[in-house]
Structures are given as structure tokens and as C-alpha cells.
Structure 1
Amino acid sequence: MPTTLDALHRAVVASPEDRTVRLAYADALDEAGDAAAVARAEFIRAQIAAEAVPAADATHPTRLRARALFEAHWLEWWRPVAAAAGLPAPHVPSRRLRDRIARRVLSAVQENPRPANWPYTHSADDTTIHFPDFGASVRFRGGFPEEVRFDDTVAPGNELEWYHHLGDAMPLVRLAFAHMITPAQWERIDGPHLANLRELTFDNLLPDTTMLLAGSQHLAALQRLAANPLATTLEGGNADTVRFLVQVPVWTELRSLRLTGRLGPPAFRDLAERCTLERLEELDVRIGTPGGPGPDIASLQALNEVIRLAVQAFTHLGTEPIPWAAFGPALEALAAAPWVRNLRRLSITSGSLTGLLGVLSNRLYGSTERGADLIPDAAVLALANAVDTPALERLTLPGPLLSPSVREDLTTRLGPRVVFA
């Protein structure tokens, strides 16, 4: 028969970011009276209280208490989640004499006998449970396991597709992928268990996968998206990936968009002209040479495009680099976009690459150190005029790419709301 705790747990799962429901769950745990329930209630309250503490304060008493409670109880808190998701129960070595002798014999012939709690380990500092055999980790925040990160979706354990049960087992708020996800892999991952997902992160994102993402009805509740849009063609850069992310996607309620890879002028302009995300409040982009696939690329065709990029860059070592002025029209297009006036935070930066990638970047898009052109004053001022609304909290711009007069003008007009990175 369902209990009050069962009903409250379902409410936590259905409203994954509602801290009030979680605190009500903690109150119900206190009423249960046993020591384990009281410890879990204290952990929930401590983690929620710690969310108001500055991130740099790692030794705040509430954080230290939450870590201590997690260290003592993580296994009992994780065991029911693992069972609900169809994951293996933590390994408990038998204490019988016969079994202890058998383990000693096996340890002499096996390189890695199963340790206690296999396949799980934990780190109390970040309240995370790791299960590398499944290529994943789960982090507790706000007193509950709510963040899943995949480092390897082709790990043998993932044949169980346990992640399809996560939406029932825990309040799934954040999902992150550390490597490239192919369209076929995303089709395995997608499903109703993502219906309440609020935050999605891709360290590397391919155009074909992006098409499936933007059309998935299971991502309609998404509010925060971070992605590194990979460049897989020399001609198009990463414009296709960016276009799929912002042009009539299913996540119409998206509030925050972070594009962690560099955008070239075509992709930046597509972002400005094609974006239909009218609820967007935070935008974070980097400009420069679009990044290619990493070393785990599975497609030889994409790898060939990276080689073509390198060959073209070194073929033109004696010519002038493409100037930063090429981004001027994109900034003007962004200034003309109606949705940009709703932004509370806008960040446009340009990172500095080193080594081979740095050489490619300098040859294709220039560098301030080599005296390349600056972004045109008119384009920067047009953008500043567009975002200078009562809603604006912070405007971050690439200071080295702006003229001194523009920096002075913006500092006078916007005061502490403008930052030059």
C-alpha cells in the first residue's frame, strides 16, 4: 500500500527542481523516526542549504556536514535507486569461512576480483557515485541523485539500457555526455524517462545527432542546454549544428544556451538570424575557428575534413589571416534579433588555442597578438544598444578584439554590467 513517503517521492520525481517538495519529503522522513531516515532528512536539508553558499566556499559547515552524511550512508541511499533502474545490487562479499577461503584462492588467479560494493565507488567531495563498468556516474544534489554523466555509452553494462528507468527512480534534472553521441546511440537513449529533464550537456555534438535532439518530444521541458557544436566540414563549419539547435526546436521554454565550441562567422550569423527561442535569458558563445572532432571520432569522412582544414591552413601561411572584422555582420544580425532584448546575460568571448590548433586558428581567423583587425566599432555598439535594457545584468565581450574607444564608451554607459574578457 502506498505510503506518504511514496507519494512525496513521486512528487519529487515529477517536479525535479522544486525544493519545497524535497523539504516536505525530509519532514516526512523525520516523522518516520528511525536513525537512517533522520540522517537522510538531515542530508537533504544540508544540501539544499548549501546551494545558497558561494561555490568557492568548499569548507562551509553545511557542505562539510553533507559530505560526512554521504560518506556514511551513500550505499543505503543508492541501493533502492539501483534496484528501480535495473542496475546490479552492490556486491556484498560473504562472511562465511568457506567463501572467504574461496575469495583468497580466486584473488591469487584473478587480476581484479570483485571488491565490496562493486560495480560502484563513491567520492564524498562531490557526492557522486561512479560505476565505470557502465560508463556513467550519478551525482546527488539537493539531497537526491539528480545528475547523470555518461563517459562511455557503449560500455558493456549499457546493453541493459538501465537509463530508461531513471525517470521513475530519481528526479532526473541534468544529463551530460562526455563524448560524441551518434544518431544511433541517441535513439537508444531517448525516451519518456527524459520528460522532466531540465538540463542537457554535450561536450561534443554532431549535426546529425542534433537533428534528432531538436525533434525529440521528450525534451520539451528542457530549460538549459550546453553543447560544443563540432565542425565536420571545411565549407560549412559548425553552422548546421547551431542551426538545428536554435531554429524551431522542441525546447521552446529554453532559458539558457551555452555553445562551448568556437563559432565561425556563418554559424554566429545563423544563430542570430534563425533563433526562435523567445524565452532565452542567457546566451554564452565563443567566436573563432570552429572545432573539429576529437580523437575518438568514428567517422573517417569527418577525420578527412579535419585533415583538409589543416592542409588549407598551412597552404596559406604566407597570406593575411581572415580578420576579426568578419564577425561584424554577425554582431549586427544579433543586434537586430528581437529575442536578444530579453537577455539577462550575454557572453561573447574568444579563447586562445595553443600548439597546432593555435596555428590553425591564427591563420584562419587571425589573432590580436599578430595585429589582426578588430571587430568593427559600429557592430559592437549596435549590439550594446540592443541589449541595454532594464533586464540586462551582465554583458561580457572579448576585450582584446575591441577598440579602446569602444571599451571606454561601454564602460561609461553600462558600468559594472559590462565585462571585457
Structure 2
Amino acid sequence: MSSDLESLLAAVVADPDDDTARLAYADCLQEHGNEPRAAFIRLQVQAEHLHPHSNARAALEAQAQVLFERHWVEWWGEVCVAVGLPTSGPPGYRAAVGAALVPRRSPGDGALPRDQCPITFRRGFPEAVAIPALSAGSELCGSYLARWSSVSPLTELIVVGPANDPRYQWPEGEHLRTVRRLQIRQHSVDTLRAARDSPHLGALEHLTLHASWAIQPAVVAGSLAFEVAAAHAPRLRHLSARIRPNRVAEMFARAEPFAALESLDLELFSPPWYESDQAEPLRTFVESRHVSGVRRLAFHMLDNSDDLAPLLQSRAWGRLRALDIDFGNARNRFGVLRRGNDLTGLRELRLAGVYLTAEAVRDLAAAPLLKRVKHFALFGAYENGRALLPLVDAVDADRVETFAIGIPHFPERAANALRAKLGDRVRFLES
């Protein structure tokens, strides 16, 4: 690598948020004859600035994916040489959608899903790393991460793997100082404690805590997940957690450290043996002054759309910009959305796990909330294709910027009506 490329790479690593450094590195790559990698970086940087559901972003990502599939072996080989991973023999990975590498075979212990074992290229660099993806080497994963800065920023770490395998142990070290996003999935109590007590996570802003079934009693039903989040709360801007409904109110009603949160994603998890009413805990949560500053809010596995009433009618949530609701494929009516609401700042609404009956579609089309948003996304299934036509009236054509549909076999008549009204702002996604 030339001295110019080395200095520009050092600038990218030193300030991962600076797109100027990345684009300068791309220019230098092109000057040295590496046009595919230069184009790949530019495409990913451009795509990052567009809404995830926009067709323009999809086009850029598709171009980047083509380049990635053609050249990933070469690019990943450079990473392996830099960090000390083995490079002999056939690559143990394959290219996946989203410019990610996943193992060709799941690790033997634990049989982890491939989508939880990636090396993901973000804005042109492999800066999101899942620990199992490094298990091909003979060293502990932390050893490879310690050398990651020689080739790329390390901004996201996904800790997922069999709790009893030393290759997946918590990778404590100075290299964690650049980690902005941390996901802990399917791991041990010891890992959660290590994350809670780590002195090197001073840059952490996004935290995801999704415990496995095996440790639900110790983590989700107990206090350890809350302790991990609370330990880093003063710096956290986004928190995603899998939690029982009755714990939502308990965690946030008096949790002053979480007042700085800007984004909150809660999966309302209830084991088969556990029965609870979500309405009262959610009401307590909505009324908590400690989370009313959140700008993006997501609920997954919400039992009943009527449980949204306290949120829609609370003036404390007037600054909310994005709302994401996943009903877990429940049959829901949306009469609650037809009522007046105080979410005056809402600009984005995503509804998933919905079953669209004629009544549900009429409620959505008449909802004043939908006339206000700039970005609307709908995922689920429908009862009758003809009943979907009122969706065309669901948003204000002069206001909406993206209208995403993730409904399999969406009727062509309704699709054409949406295209006629919104043009390229409509995007049909896989659910």
C-alpha cells in the first residue's frame, strides 16, 4: 500500500463519521488503478444518505452489491492478511445481500443462523464484525479485532455464539474504544457482565440486548440486561431490548439515566407459560418523563393496536419523529388510528405483522396520522385484493417521500394505482 493510501486509511479509521476521508481514499484507490473498490466505496457512501426504503438507495445498493460479489474474495483476502486470519484454501465465506460475508457453513457448536455471523461492509469498509465470523482462525477473536484498525474502522461488534466456546468469549481490549454499536445475542451471563463492566466502551451509542432462551430467567426476567444498559446509559442514543411487558414500566418509569435516549426498540416478549396484559405496562411507560425525549420508537409483538391509544394521545410524545409497530401477525383493527392524536412531529410510520381486512384498510386510509407522515411502510398479508385499493388514499401525495409495501403477491391493480399516484416513491419489498 502506498504512503498516500496509508495516511488516508488512517484518517478514515481516526474519524469513521467523516465521509470526506472515505471519498478521498476512494479517489486515491482509483488513481492507483483500483477502480472497482473506489466505485464500491462511493456507492455505499451515497446510499447511506438516502432513506432505506427509497428506490434511489436500492439502485445504489444493487450496483454496490454487483461489485462486491465480483471482488469480495480479493477484498476479504486483504483483510485476512492485515489481521492475521488464515487465507489458505478455499474461502470459508460467501457473499450475502447487503455487502456482507457469512460462513459457508454455520459453526458446529450452536448452529448459529448465518445472518448473525457476518462481516459487513459499511460505507466501503468492513467495519461491522460478528465474533463467530472470526472463528476460522486459531487465535481468540479479540486478537484479530486488536489488529482491525490496520485495514478498517471497527464501529460495530456483534457478540453471538455458544457460551461454552472460548473462541466466542468477550473480546476485551483497547480495540473496543472505537465501537459505536454493540449487539449481544444468544450469549452467556458472563458476556453480559463483561459488557457491563468494560472500561473500553466509551464511544458506545447503540446497544442491542437480545438474550437466548437458555438465559431468559437470568437476563430478561432478572436485572442483568437492565444493568448493562444502565451502565452505558449516559452515552446511549439507541437501545434495543427483548423484554417482558411487565418489565417495561419497571425499567423506564424511574430510569433517569435513559433520559438521553433518542431511539428505543422494544420486543415485548412473553414466554408461552407467561400471561400478562400489555396495556397497563405500556401506559406506564408512555407516561414516564424519562423516555419522552425519544425520537424513534419501535414496539415488536404488540398484542393489540388499541394499546397504542395512550401513546397517540400523549402530548409528551409530540417530538416523536418515527414510529415502528410490529403486531406479530395478529388480526388487528386500526380504529385507534382514526382518532385525533398528538404526535404532531411524526414523519415516519412503519406497520408490520398486519392482516389487512377491508375494515382495517378503511381505518388506515382514514387515519389523520398517515396524512402527516413523509415515510410510510406496511408489511403483512391481506384478506381480499380488491379491499386494498383504498390504500391509495392513505397518504398525502404532496407530502409523502417513500411508500414501501412488504406484502407478498400484492395485487397488480392496487400496485398500479399506487404507482400512478406516487410514481418512483413507491417501493415493493420482500416481507
Name the TM-score, length of structure 2 as normaliser: 0.64
Deviations 1:221-268 (A, max 9, x none): 112122213564659853413321332x13532211112x34240354
How has the CA–CA distance of structure 1 residues 86 and 275 changed in structure 2, closer, same or farther, with 3 Å as cutoff? Answer: farther
- What secondary structure is seen at the aligned counterpart in 2 of 1:210? helix
In 2, are the aligned partners of 1:174 and 1:199 still within 8 Å (CA)? Answer: yes
Q: In the alignment, is the contact (CA less than 8 A) between 1:47 and 1:66 conserved in 2?
A: yes
* Structure 1 residues 84 and 234, CA gap change in structure 2 (3 angstroms): closer
Distance 1:221 1:402 in 2: 41
Alpha-carbon separation, structure 2, partners of 1:208 and 1:410: 47
Change (3 A) 1:169 1:349: same
One-letter code aligned to 2:75: W
Instruction: Give the match for residue 266 of structure 1.
Output: 247
Q: Measure the CA separation in 2 of the matches of 1:418 and 1:62.
A: 24
Contact 1:205 1:230 (C-alpha < 8 Å) held by counterparts: yes
Distance 1:131 1:277, change over 3 A: same
SS at match of 1:338: coil
- The structure number with the bigger radius of gyration is 1
Larger fraction in helix: 1
**Is 1:331 aligned with 2:331?**
no
Letter in 2 for 1:243: F
- Distance in 2, matches of 1:133 and 1:206, equals 23
- Structure 1 residues 143, 82: CA separation in 2 closer, same or farther (over 3 Å shift)? same
Contact kept in structure 2, 1:151 and 1:178, CA below 8 Å: yes
Match of 1:172 among 145, 154, 168: 154
Other-structure match for 1:11: 11
Q: Distance in 2 between matches of 1:338 and 1:407?
A: 24
Alignment-derived partner of residue 32 in structure 2:
34
**C-alpha RMSD of the superposition:** 4.0
Judging changes above 3 Å, is the alpha-carbon distance between structure 1 residues 223 and 404 closer, same or farther for their aligned structure 2 residues? Answer: same
Q: Secondary structure at the match of 2:232?
A: coil
Note closer, same or farther for the CA distance 1:164–1:236 as it changes in structure 2 (3 Å cut): closer
Deviations 1:8-32 (A, max 9, x none): 11111122232221012122334xx
Query: 1:124-181 CA distances to partner (integer Å, 9 max, x unpaired)?
Result: 6432334568955422221111121234776663547423322333111222234355
Deviation at 1:383, TM superposition (A): 8.0
TM-score (structure 1 length as normaliser): 0.66
Matched residues in 1 for 2:185 and 2:133: separation? 12
| Structure 1 unaligned residues grouped into runs of 5+ | 92-113, 291-309, 314-320, 352-366
Could you tell me which amino acid in structure 2 is paired with residue 381 of structure 1? P
Q: Does 1:348 pair with 2:337?
A: no
Q: Which amino acid aligns with 2:289?
A: P
Local SS of the residue matching 2:266: strand
Give CA-to-partner distance per residue, 1:307-364, whole Å, 9 cap, x none.
xxx7xx4xxxxxxx84416x51x3344244333121111222326xxxxxxxxxxxxx
Residue range with higher mean Cα deviation, 151-160 or 192-201:
151-160
Q: Which residue does 1:83 correspond to in 2?
A: 81
Which residue is 1:62 aligned to? 60
Identity across matched positions, percent:
25
Match of residue 100, structure 2, among 128, 153, 174: 128
Among 279, 282, 288, which residue is 2:260 paired with? 279
**How many pairs does the alignment contain?**
337
CA contact (8 A) 1:254 1:279 kept: yes
- Structure showing greater relative contact order (alpha-carbon pairs closer than 8 Å, 6 or more residues apart): 1
